[in-house]
Amino acid sequence: MTAELGAFSLVLALCLSLAQAGLSFAGRARRDATLTGAAEGAALGAFLGVAIGFAALIWAFVTSDFSVANAAQNSHTAKPLIYKIAGAWGSHEGSIVLWCFALTAYGAALALARTLPWGLKALAVAVQGTLGALFIAYLVFASNPLTRLIDPPAEGNSLNPLLQDPALAAHPPFLYAGYVGLSVVFSLAIAALIEGRVDAAWARWVRPWTLAAWSLLTVGITLGSFWSYYVLGWGGWWFWDPVENASLMPWLMATALLHSAVVTEKRGALAAWTVFLAIAAFTLSMLGAFLVRSGVLTSVHAFAVDPRRGLLLLAILAVTAGSAFSLFAWRAASLKDRAVFAPISRESALVLNNIFLAAVTSAVLAGTLWPLILEAFGRQGGVGAPYYNLVVGVLAATAFVILPAGPLLAWKRGDALGAIQRLAAAATAALAAGLLVYAVAAPRQALGAALVGLGAWLVAGSLAEAAERIRLARVPFAESRRRFAALPRGTWGMSLAHLGLGIFVMGAAFETGWRVEAAAVLSPGGNLGLGGYHLRLQGVGDAPGPNYDAEQGRIVITNARGAPVCVARPERRTYDVGGQSIAKVALCMGPLSDLYVTLGERRATVGGGSAWLVRGFLNPWVRLIFLGPLLMAAGGALSLSDRRLRIAAGVRRGVAAGQWAAAR
């Protein structure tokens, strides 16, 4: 019964979403608060409906109800409970349910928002309802997760073993919460275009939604990257894979939006561009969903694809993005942008940030779609890491050189010389860090050392900027502490995010430049040197798990002086269902670096014994690669907790902000 109840709730949610859109549009047009109030109620109801449907699906997985087709295809009685639950969003249908759940949850949050003006809110709720109706309709009619089987199997097909992992259980919820969070920003942009007013106040209302979506997306991407690092077993953490790119593009747009919205909020400039970014960010989210779900691009992460239903998603994307950009093209020309600023100013720095982020996004977009573009002309071709590393690397590095100066420049007219003087210490520290890496790290690498120095420049720059804010060492310490407490959290959030970016760049540069790799076919008792470490295969035993058999190697790792460092136990697991064999990586984590060991298939030696291919990586500073983005997300959360975002957001300011021409 639960499955039928869930399926019914999903249909109900579809009707409520339609009601939400219709009532809210009508209420706004007739200036009738009763209708818009009813629409807000419908938004809450739609959320409840999808939540019940989602709960019914999870219930089918948890109770192993294999009469539900989706559970039969993706679950198994022997699977641990957490993966039964996570399996509910591991399939195509499940991930669309998760998407709709997030979409209606944001819709409900929007309906409950108090600070928005009535007209803008009514239209935003209506647009959000339209999005909800489109996606729930797709869910109900083309991807229903709760259809029953006439002839249920006794046992399920189980979830792909690679996906049975804690980081990956948490990865989709964060990622989708981020992707779909941008839908609210999209709805607010469309509402503002219809209302005809994009000003400082609007930018301020958009900010918390962008911050929340951006922070969640940052965490989601980091979890995904960490998963591919320690599950896929070849030591890398980013592959410029189409699916990874699909999540990176909305992130880049959301980052640009966060920065341009600041200019719109403080100075009333860039209104049209900010609206454009708000529309583009969610459009790229939908494009990502289409690319991932349709399987038009080959990808290592293609776990849930279906080309036929991909076409429907493409239709949704075309309708939503097409009408949004048409509306933008019609209305944006009349958005006036009268703020004046000097070439050297905070505004210019933020515009530069947007230019570089737009260029990086276009590189990722062009590279991702390149095989499709060529195919349309009857040709073949592909793009891989070398293209992205070079193009994105050059653009990002240029942006990073300028970044620390931005926050030190004043609005309207900045003092370049002053900013350079205040960054002198940071520049010295960065140079020293680069030279130190160049001198100490073997083998000697100029480019790698320069990139580590660039990361250190970002770290030192954000620290210098924070020190400048509290006038550290220039006023008595107590005064600095008072300033520290008095500054708004949004400011600290920014510093923390920039610090996190620097830490990430340092880690990425050092890990990429100085990763050490070694491999050998070892019989028990065999040895393998790895950097300054020594790996010794003591033996291989059996280590059966709940739903798999495994061979487990016991590898003792000692350092150069012969002292034991740790015992690595990499596994090769063969799953009972499907018979797939995967490597389970063993990680010996130091404070910053990892020793990463995998075990290959058993092979026979000439003498009749057994041997295994043992592969080891020494990944120096790899911790920084995952720590940096988490700090960035924490910065976003800190900024979100700023009380200035919650109070008096509706105060009109005397900024001539992208208001509509007076004649209208």
Q: Which residues bind other proteins (CB under 8 A)?
A: 73, 157, 160, 162, 232-236, 239, 241-242, 295, 298-306, 340-343, 348, 351-352, 354-356, 358-360, 362-363, 366-367, 370-371, 374, 379-387, 391-392, 395, 517-521, 580-583, 598, 600, 613, 615
Helical H segments across 113-199, by residue range: 118-142, 166-195
Cα dihedral 109/93/283/655 (nearest 10): 10
Helical H segments across 300-423, by residue range: 307-331, 346-376, 385-402, 416-422
H/E element holding 533? strand 533-542
Beta carbon nearer to other proteins, 37 or 236? 236
Compute the 3-state secondary structure of the chain and give helix, strand, coil in percent, each to the nearest 5.
Answer: 65, 10, 25
Provide the residue type at 574 as one letter: T
Q: How far is the CB of 6 from other proteins (least distance, A)?
A: 23
Q: How far is the CB of 634 from other proteins (least distance, A)?
A: 30
Q: How far is the CB of 615 from other proteins (least distance, A)?
A: 6
Q: How far is the CB of 573 from other proteins (least distance, A)?
A: 11
Q: How far is the CB of 325 from other proteins (least distance, A)?
A: 17
SS3 5: helix
Cα dihedral 177/159/67/147 (nearest 10): 40
Beta carbon nearer to other proteins, 518 or 556? 518
Beta strand pairing status for 586-589 and 581-584? unpaired
Q: Quick check: 56 and 79 in contact, CB under 8 A?
A: no
Residues in the chain: 664
Beta carbon nearer to other proteins, 31 or 603? 603
Of 16, 90, 20, 22, nearest to 48 by C-alpha is 16
The number of angstroms, rounded, from the C-alpha of 409 to the middle of its chain's C-alpha atoms is 29
Q: How far is the CB of 519 from other proteins (least distance, A)?
A: 4
Going from the C-alpha of 539 to that of each of 94, 209, 517, 618, the distances in angstroms are 42, 54, 22, 22
Beta carbon nearer to other proteins, 46 or 522? 522
The CA angle 134-136-141, to the nearest 5 degrees, is 95
Q: How far is the CB of 509 from other proteins (least distance, A)?
A: 18
Number of helical H runs and strand E runs in the chain: 19, 10
Q: How far is the CB of 385 from other proteins (least distance, A)?
A: 6
Q: How far is the CB of 656 from other proteins (least distance, A)?
A: 9
| Residue 144 DSSP symbol | -
Beta carbon nearer to other proteins, 255 or 354? 354
Q: How far is the CB of 623 from other proteins (least distance, A)?
A: 22
Beta carbon nearer to other proteins, 211 or 582? 582
Q: How far is the CB of 328 from other proteins (least distance, A)?
A: 17
Radius of gyration of the chain (CA): 27
Q: How far is the CB of 360 from other proteins (least distance, A)?
A: 7
Of 524, 550, 570, 573, nearest to 235 by C-alpha is 570
Q: Quick check: 487 and 470 in contact, CB under 8 A?
A: yes
Please tell me the distance from the alpha carbon of residue 217 to that of residue 475, in angstroms, as a whole number: 39
Beta carbon nearer to other proteins, 406 or 600? 600
Beta carbon nearer to other proteins, 167 or 302? 302
Beta carbon nearer to other proteins, 129 or 235? 235
Beta carbon nearer to other proteins, 180 or 335? 335
| Residue 591 DSSP symbol | S
Beta carbon nearer to other proteins, 374 or 431? 374
Beta carbon nearer to other proteins, 468 or 549? 549
Q: How far is the CB of 343 from other proteins (least distance, A)?
A: 5
Q: How far is the CB of 358 from other proteins (least distance, A)?
A: 6
- In the beta sheet, which residues pair with residue 537? 555
Beta carbon nearer to other proteins, 301 or 331? 301
Please tell me the distance from the alpha carbon of residue 46 to that of residue 13, in angstroms, as a whole number: 4
Provide the residue type at 474 as one letter: R
Tokens of 515: 């990763």
Beta carbon nearer to other proteins, 491 or 523? 523
Please tell me the distance from the alpha carbon of residue 125 to that of residue 189, in angstroms, as a whole number: 12
Report the Cα–Cα distance between both ends of the chain, in Å, rounded.
57
Of 321, 269, 352, nearest to 127 by C-alpha is 321
Residue 233, Cβ neighbours under 10 Å: how many? Answer: 22
